[in-house]
Amino acid sequence: MSTKAPTERQQEILDFIQSAQHSGEGTPSLREIAAHFGFRSMNAAADHVRALRRKKLLDSRPHQARSLRALSRFSVRRRPIVDIPVFGTIPAGPPADRYQEAEGCVSVDVESLGIRPTARTFALKVRGDSMIGKHIVDGDCVILEHGMTPRSGDVVAALIDNESTLKTFVIEKGKPYLRAENPRYPALVPAGELVIQGVMVALLRRTKPV
């Protein structure tokens, strides 16, 4: 079944959301949408947003503010393109402080990547060289799924003793730890807490211009 096309006003709102996301400003709130289009109340903005969600042109994370995610207006007519929020950088090296708030989106062709993004899908930019054995290098963008239970050998974004990092999740003798894929870096054994924030489901690499 084909997705019903948006009205002219709905398309304008969809374009406004996409433009804000791609500029790095993040997702506009209902108040900001209402102000931009001159609506007298946020209810009008909310009605349009609900209509776009029914038409499967918008997605969002439940119970989370500013989590609207625009699906490409070309996805209905061509291939399914999805905007995935990018939540800053994550070190593929020594662990560092938690990564930043969302700083924009990356548009992906889900058929080419072979993934099915959900409201829990997010992306992180890689910084460092500890995962080169998995062909993950500095500047790559990893796409992860929050809420998945990792299997031994999966690449994960993890919070280990309150510091974030990208490593391979390993379980040996019933105990989990994080393994770097570069012999220059040691394994990370949690002294206290190990929280898996996302399991990698895809990798994006931007080729540098010659």
Considering 72, 75, 125, 130, which one is annotated as catalytic? 130
Residues 6+ apart with CB under 8 A from 157: 90, 124, 142, 144, 164, 165, 166, 196, 197, 198, 200
Annotated catalytic residue 167: yes
**Sign of torsion over alpha carbons 5, 105, 103, 61:** positive
Nearest to 201 by CA among 142, 152, 134, 158: 142
> Which candidate in 167, 173, 175, 208 is catalytic?
167
Known catalytic residue: 67? no
Q: Do the strands 121-127 and 81-91 form a parallel or antiparallel pair, or are they unpaired?
A: parallel
Which positions are catalytic? 130, 167
